[in-house]
């Protein structure tokens, strides 16, 4: 599959602070790609690197086959980009900023913009400074979408939006992806992203600790709640990649990846285990597990037996 965005061993430092640490990423066309991470994880730097707004110290970034350092301007022209705090001219009306921006794109921009504005329920005559945060985000999104970009890059696009709008907005992302466009969004609104993302990546301290299709991820990760039998003291021996484990009295909670069904049945038959429940965790739980577990990177290794200490 052709890549919409590709980062190859990209590193970037700001003084002593490492913003990106050997990040490699491949975003195929026609997907909704969610980059998750806590504040300061390096998401915005990664986006700026893709757009040619920041030069990587090492590695290479490409968008739509264009080198971000050499063709940054062309990339920014071809993609739709909504930054974390979109810069808009407050003194313009909704209609004026559309007309103004249309000057930089080809024919058809303005009608599409007007359509989007109508779709989002915005009034063309209102000045931007009179709009709520959510409405401004909608204007920014309409401006980014009106030239029908192949790739849409959104940096924290839903912050400030109310629940309804956020839901509506995210669903429109799915529509875009189904129309063959790529949506790259960075967010820490995990719950919302979960509903629309095809692929998720988790970034922590400048490193990518997980890149996986969401459906596959959910198949791979289970949360086990193990209640030990009386007299048993040792924790359960769970085979797989342990992401998190917690103990409450005689009860253990273990988040594990690559747990084989057969092994689960074996565990159920263990005499030391009085009770065992297994469920699929939410993306948020997986995200928290990855960040809190202290692991620094993803382990794309096959399942193995990990004996709890």
Partner 1 sequence: MRALLFPRLVWKEYRVLRGYWLSLLVVGLLIEFFMAQFARDPQLALFSLPWVVAAFFALGAGATLFAIEREEQTIEFLRGLPASPSRLFVGKLTLALGGTLLLGVALSAAALPVVGPEQLRNLAANNTGWILGAPLLLQVVAWGMFFSLLLARPLVAALLATLATFVSCSVVAYVATASDTMPGWRTGWEGVPHALMTVAVFLLDFVLSRRWLFGSARRFRAIRIARATDMRCLWWQESRQSGVVVGAVLALGLLLMVSNWASAGPHSAGTVPIATLIFALFGSCVFLADQGGGQFRYFTERGIDPRRLWLARQLFWAAPAAALMLVYLLAHVALLAMVVRNGGAYDNIESRKLLFFNYEWFGLHLGDPYRHYHQTWHVGWFRQLPGYVLWTALAYGAGQLCSMFFRSGLLAAVFGVIAAALLVAWAALMEFVELSWLFTVAPLAIALFVGTWLRAPDWLIERRDWRARVRGVLVLAVPLATVLIGTLLYRVYEAPAPEIEIAPRAQNASAFAAADARRTADLYARASDLLVKMPSEGPFAELRGETSTTLTESQIAWLDKNEEPLALVLEAAARPDCTFFGTSYRLENGRSARFLELGHLVVLSARQLEDDGQLAAAWTRFQAAFSMARHFHQQPGLFGEIYGNALERMALERLFFWGAHEDQTPDRIRAAIEYIGKLAPLRSMTDEIKEGYGELAVRLFNEGESWSQFDEPPIVSRQLARWMPWELVRSKRTLALLAKLDIDDVQAAESALVGEGKPAEAWYYEDPYARLKVEHLTRTSLFFGVERTNESFQGFSRSVIDSRRSAVAYRRAVRLALAAEAWRLEHDELPDSLARLEGNGLGPLPVDPFTNQAFSYFPFGFRKPISSNELKRLPLRMPLLYSPAMPRGDYLMERIGSLRRESDDAPPASDVSNHELERVQGLVFPIPERF
Q: What minimum distance in Å lies between the beta carbon of 82 and partner 1? A: 8
Cα–Cα distance, 260 to 56 (Å, whole number): 40
Q: What minimum distance in Å lies between the beta carbon of 133 and partner 1? A: 16
Cα–Cα distance, 226 to 217 (Å, whole number): 22
66/274 with CB nearer partner 1: 66
107/230 with CB nearer partner 1: 107
Q: Which residues, in sequence order, are CB contacts of 83 under 8 Å at separation 6+?
A: 155
Q: What minimum distance in Å lies between the beta carbon of 83 and partner 1? A: 6
Q: Which residues bind partner 1 (CB under 8 A)?
A: 52-53, 55, 72-79, 81-83, 86-89, 91-92, 99-104, 143
20/221 with CB nearer partner 1: 20
Q: Which residues pair with 152 in a beta bridge?
A: 80, 183
Q: Which residues, in sequence order, are CB contacts of 274 under 8 Å at separation 6+?
A: 227, 228, 229, 230, 250
Q: Which residues, in sequence order, are CB contacts of 288 under 8 Å at separation 6+?
A: 244
42/72 with CB nearer partner 1: 72
Q: What minimum distance in Å lies between the beta carbon of 67 and partner 1? A: 15
92/306 with CB nearer partner 1: 92
Q: What minimum distance in Å lies between the beta carbon of 163 and partner 1? A: 27
Q: Are strands 151-155 and 182-187 parallel, antiparallel or unpaired?
A: parallel
Q: What minimum distance in Å lies between the beta carbon of 183 and partner 1? A: 16
In the block, tokens 């299709």 appear at: 213
22, burial (CB in 10 Å: exposed 0-12, middle 13-18, buried 19+): middle
49/220 with CB nearer partner 1: 49
What is the full DSSP assignment across 277-289? EEEPPPHHHHHHH
Q: Which residues, in sequence order, are CB contacts of 253 under 8 Å at separation 6+?
A: 223, 224, 225, 226, 244, 245, 246, 247
């Amino acid at each position: 599959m052709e890549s919409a965005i590709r980062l190859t061993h990209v590193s970037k430092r700001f003084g002593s602070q490492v913003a990106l640490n050997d990040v490699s990423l491949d975003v195929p066309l026609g997907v909704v790609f969610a980059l998750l991470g806590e504040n300061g994880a390096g998401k915005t730097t990664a986006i700026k690197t893709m757009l040619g707004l920041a030069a990587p110290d090492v590695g290479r970034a490409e968008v739509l086959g264009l080198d971000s350092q050499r063709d940054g301007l062309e990339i920014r022209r071809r993609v739709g980009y909504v930054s974390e705090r979109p810069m808009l001219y407050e003194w313009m009306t909704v209609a004026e900023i559309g007309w103004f921006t249309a000057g930089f794109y080809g024919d058809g921009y303005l009608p599409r913009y007007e359509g989007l504005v109508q779709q989002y329920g915005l009034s063309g005559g209102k000045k931007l400074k009179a709009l709520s945060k959510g409405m401004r985000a909608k204007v920014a999104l309409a401006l980014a979408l009106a030239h029908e970009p192949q790739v849409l890059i959104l940096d924290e696009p839903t912050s400030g939006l109310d629940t309804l709008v956020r839901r509506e907005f995210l669903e429109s992302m799915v529509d875009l992806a189904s129309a063959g466009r790529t949506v790259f969004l960075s967010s820490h609104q995990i719950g919302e992203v979960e509903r629309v993302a095809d692929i998720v990546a988790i970034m922590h301290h400048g490193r990518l600790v997980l890149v996986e299709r969401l459906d596959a991820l959910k198949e791979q990760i289970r949360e086990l709640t193990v209640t030990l039998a009386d007299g048993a003291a040792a924790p359960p021996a769970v085979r797989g990649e342990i992401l998190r484990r917690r103990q409450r009295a005689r009860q253990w909670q273990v988040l594990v990846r690559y747990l084989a069904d057969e092994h689960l049945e074996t565990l159920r038959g263990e005499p030391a285990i009085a009770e065992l429940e297994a469920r699929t965790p939410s993306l948020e739980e997986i995200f928290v597990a990855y960040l809190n577990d202290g692991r620094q990177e993803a382990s794309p290794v096959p399942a193995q037996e990990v004996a709890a200490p």
